[in-house]
Structure 1
Amino acid sequence: MENTVRRVRPQLQIEESPMTPFLWRVSAFTLGGMFTDGYILGHIGIALGLATPELGLNGLWLGLLAASTLLGILIGAPIAGRLADRFGRRRLLAVDFAVIAAGALAHLFVTDPGTLLALRTFMGIAIGAEYAIGAAVLSEFAPRRSRGTLLASLNGAWIVGFVAGFAVAYVMREAGADWRAIFASAAVPALAVLLLRIGSPESPRWLLANGRGEEAQAVVERFYGGGYGLEGLAAASGEPAKRGLAELFSPAYRTRTIFAGGFWACQVMPLFALTIFLPQVFEALGIGTELGAEMLVNGMLLVGAVTGVIAIKYLPRRKLVIVTFGIVAAALLAMSFAGSFPVWFGIGAFAVFVLVASAASNLEYVYPSEIFPTEIRATGMGFAAALSRVGAAASTFLLPVALEKFGNMATMALLAAIAVLGLVISVLWAPETQGKSLDEASREGAQ
């Protein structure tokens, strides 16, 4: 009897896939998610300015309302990250943005500061969920050659959204719009993202890590093509139900966890505080608060975001994070002496700070997504985002108080010390992930 030998054609790895229409769709709805998150924060200053007379907001209320969204992120990011690692990414993708759209529209009915505070915190929880889920999804679908650029673009999308939120709020204010309508305008991008997410598949990496190989193969064949398979992906390596925050602080990953949250917090603390309260910062630096100056800063944010995407494509991650912390610390230290020099000195130092800090912040969505394995990727991303927002909320709340009580020199010197701390954390623990597969980057060198 003649034996028939079946030849099996080697399967292609999904990390070597080109950018297909499906992958562009994934990129669009994750980048759109971060755009919306930035938009929601970008219009806070103008909207609160309009709401102040009607609601009788004092300095304490303004600080609480400005920080409330960031505090909501502290709650939402780790919880959503754990849920995404336990139950999958797909279930949370659409639900999260349905919640964001509904929350934005709910602003139309706010009549008192307490309700506004609760609603802004609620929006922050939903945004925190996106921080944990979006980057994890994009990193798990993206091809290797495009992963760094796409993940870096998440921060660029956030900055574009932040600037767009400011610009739209300004136009709406000049057109006589109510502050409630400014807050509610975030429902427009949220609904667009929601439509893109409907029908999206589960991550094949997550399915495989949870012992669901046949489902993972079906997703790969449907969305990548019949020639692709699960080659090169890590199979199930444990029981996900028993993983989570404790795993992040296990001997294998604790230094990476400290690095991910620490460097992110040290980046956002100065940037959030100094960009959200631009009028107070300009006054401290002796700069007028005209619209032109504010738009210049937002323009530098955009230029920095684009520069950062390009830098991450060509430069080693570790070198980039270390060098940029050094430049940011020097710029903030220069700003502390701005009162002793002509106005142009303070403007120049502030411009350098915004440009470099914006470029460096693209690493916030690259590093945490690359240095944790699939089983705890969203949990790690959520923890890092939460820790960063603790710092951002604290610096945003305290900046006006510090400027008033201690003056520009002490305040900027303190922010420079935070950048130096980020530099030390990066020198000690920043790994190099450029050019590695996602599995190699997340497991190699873990201590």
Structure 2
Amino acid sequence: MKLKALLLFYVMVFYVRSLNGVSKEIGNPSWKRSFLYILVASLASFLYGYHLGVINETLESISNDLHFNGNTMAEGGGFLGSTFSGLIVDRVGFRRAFQLCALPMIIGSSMSATAKNLWGMLLGRLFVGTGMGLGPTLATLYVTEVSPAYVRGTYGSFTQIATSLGLMSSLLIGFPAKETEGWWRICFWVSAVPAALLALFMEFSPESPHWLFKKGRAADAEAAFEKLLGGPYVKGAMAELSKSERGGEAETVKLSELLFGHHRKVVFIGSTLFALQQLSGINSVFFFSSTVFKSAGVSSQSANICVGIANFLGSFAALLLMDKLGRKVLLIGSFSGMIVAMGLQAASASSLVSSSNEVYLSVGGMLLFVLAFSVGAGPVPSLLLSEMFPGRIRAKAMSVCLASHWSC
């Protein structure tokens, strides 16, 4: 009897342990199911980074050919795209919105590549800017709504990594522009390829279950969850979704409710974060680093490679640390690092620093600034806010906050 009782006890222990193992397995759906769809969505961020940097290395050549001296039209298009991104997502869903994001980028890139005068280039940049305004919003929201919670921060960092890879690609492809006549046109043609891939692959990607549920399409939302998470997780995901969402109410959200209603505080925080992100001066590095480094006696190619590497390393660090340290810690650390970097650059211009060390401090300060930005100030605001906003207002609230991003 004692032997039987002992055997029964061990069997029960083994059974309980196996159940714990199963519960743990069920608790975390495989990240592999949603991984490819996250990569597809990240193409929008890649395009954002590419078009952010494509003017940098080619600006001198374009200026000689077309007398084009800036990127203002792209920023204006970005403001328009981000402003209407929430409305577009609520109306047509993420898959069609991504395709609508890719379309103006294809058209705008083609117009810029074939431009014969300044106005052709400006109009092309306006189209591209519209897609740039849509892309970051869509990528962030899509990642938030289709990724498992335990890897959401890591996946959210993918968009920043994709942005840095796009930036590096534009700088590398743009190197021959100063020696090869008309090479800058090739740089714009190249960007049409990932835009076309984004439009194509999105046709085979699942729609956001949150959007489907809000539209009253519960059966389609279950099918999307099964594709993203696996069958055993569908019921739990739908139950959680039912608690947080109420179908069909997204259309009732008005701008006045976001600006003056009970959501005004979180919208104000989001707009302020994006404003501080842009007012930090990061765009001056991405747009004009070639000119800045040239004045310091550093070749533009070497400088741009260093900027791209610093941006990528910071983005990769964010991927590793986002879910471990949390969003708030990365954000505080990022802005603190940017303060130190600005201090180094200010010190390089003082009379206390010898001329031989001035270049090292100036260039080092700029690279540290890019590194610190890409660790937190770059990826955190969009991911943090997409998690903070209730699903009912998420898309439109993000579009309001990103409008402040483009304004600044």
Deviations 1:269-312 (A, max 9, x none): 3111123111443366x443442233222221111111122221
In the alignment, which residue of structure 1 is the partner of 2:109?
Answer: 104
> Please, which of 359, 374, 377 is the counterpart of residue 375 of structure 2?
359
2:139 maps to 1:134: yes
2:24 maps to 1:17: no
Distance 1:193 1:214 in 2: 26
Distance 1:150 1:351 in 2: 25
Q: Is the 8 A contact 2:206 2:227 kept in 1?
A: no
Q: Is the 8 A contact 1:308 1:359 kept in 2?
A: yes
In the alignment, which residue of structure 2 is the partner of 1:232?
Answer: 240
Distance 2:297 2:319 in 1: 30
> Please, which of 68, 71, 76 is the counterpart of residue 76 of structure 2?
71
Residue 222 of structure 1 and its aligned partner are, at CA, apart by 4.8
Deviations 1:354-404 (A, max 9, x none): 21112121213311221112222222222222211221xxxxxxxxxxxxx
Identity %: 24
Structure 1's 283 and 93: CA in aligned 2 closer, same or farther, altered over 3 A?
A: closer
Distance 2:314 2:141 in 1: 24
In the alignment, which residue of structure 2 is the partner of 1:374?
Answer: 391
Deviations 1:327-363 (A, max 9, x none): 2123213312312222222222222212111212121
In the alignment, which residue of structure 1 is the partner of 2:271?
Answer: 261
Residue 137 of structure 1 and its aligned partner are, at CA, apart by 1.2
Structure with max Cα Rg: 2
Deviations 1:236-283 (A, max 9, x none): 166222214333224432222122222222223311112311144336
Distance 1:221 1:163 in 2: 36
- Scaled by the length of structure 2, what TM-score is found? 0.84
Match for 1:351: what amino acid? L
Structure 1's 244 and 91: CA in aligned 2 closer, same or farther, altered over 3 A?
A: farther
Structure with the bigger RCO (C-alpha within 8 Å, sep 6+) is: 1
In the alignment, which residue of structure 1 is the partner of 2:69?
Answer: 62
Deviations 1:158-192 (A, max 9, x none): 01101111111114554544322222210122122
Distance 1:179 1:383 in 2: 34
Distance 2:311 2:214 in 1: 38
Range with bigger deviation, 212-221 or 44-53? 212-221
Larger helix share, 1 or 2: 2
Residue 79 of structure 1 and its aligned partner are, at CA, apart by 0.3
Q: Is the 8 A contact 1:155 1:365 kept in 2?
A: no
Q: Is the 8 A contact 2:294 2:300 kept in 1?
A: no
In the alignment, which residue of structure 1 is the partner of 2:6?
Answer: none
In the alignment, which residue of structure 1 is the partner of 2:303?
Answer: 293
> Please, which of 41, 49, 73 is the counterpart of residue 38 of structure 1?
49
> Please, which of 106, 112, 118 is the counterpart of residue 113 of structure 1?
118
Counting only pairs closer than 5 Å after superposition, residues 408-419 of structure 1 correspond to structure 2 as: none
2:333 maps to 1:323: yes
> Please, which of 190, 195, 199 is the counterpart of residue 190 of structure 1?
195
Match for 2:61: what amino acid? L
Any unmatched runs of 5+ in structure 2? 1-22
Tell me how many residue pairs correspond in the alignment. Answer: 373
In the alignment, which residue of structure 1 is the partner of 2:361?
Answer: 345
Q: Alignment partner of 1:249: what SS?
A: helix
Q: Is the 8 A contact 1:324 1:357 kept in 2?
A: yes
Match for 2:361: what amino acid? F
Deviations 1:2-32 (A, max 9, x none): xxxxxxxxx99999421244x1221111112
- Scaled by the length of structure 1, what TM-score is found? 0.77
2:328 maps to 1:312: no
Structure 1's 319 and 288: CA in aligned 2 closer, same or farther, altered over 3 A?
A: same
Deviations 1:171-222 (A, max 9, x none): 4554544322222210122122222111333211112233332332233245
Match for 1:44: what amino acid? I
Any unmatched runs of 5+ in structure 1? 1-10, 392-447
Distance 1:268 1:155 in 2: 15
